[in-house]
Amino acid sequence: MSRRNPKGREVNGIVLLDKDTGLSSNAALQKVKRLFFAKKAGHTGALDPLASGILPICLGQATKVAGFLLDDDKRYFVRGQFGQITDTGDAEGEIIKIQPFEYLIDEEIRMAVNQFVGDIKQIPPMYSALKKDGQPLYKLARQGIEIDRPPRPVTIHHIDYLGYEQGILSLEVSCSK
């Protein structure tokens, strides 16, 4: 027998959650599951805790379609700081090196980012939501554990240059899973 919400109806559907930074996808999923009194719930692909964005959460019978959505293409809005290197490779880490860089020209940036469009091999960073034996890599990395991560095929469909100001580069990236 399925768990019912206080009104006695089974909950089925997809919630498009605007996940905030600092929250794991699983923590967000559990909050939505409790809020809707859902017996079954699943998301269609984890966002890193530092990432914000739309996280589709399937409830009840809708969990049957979650697998079809997992392999869909993704779109990211990315901001990167030039001249700082952190121990984690992301904004959460400690700055371990500040490196001066030359002023970049818009056209040079456009040419550089367009080199990544197409089929590439990507080694996933340790600080990511990718899982190894059920554990997100970022949790292993925080414990000082580093594992081999084989390169994965990724298709970069499009990179839109959105701007560059005071050492911060903004891009929109459309890519495969």
Cα(52)–Cα(30) distance, rounded to whole angstroms? 17
The residue annotated as part of the active site, out of 48, 71, 87, 119, is 48
Q: What is the 3-state secondary structure (H, E, C) of 72-122?
A: CCEEEEEEEECCEEECCCCCCCCEEEECCCCCCCHHHHHHHHHCCCEEEEE
Is 48 designated active site? yes
Residues tagged active-site: 48
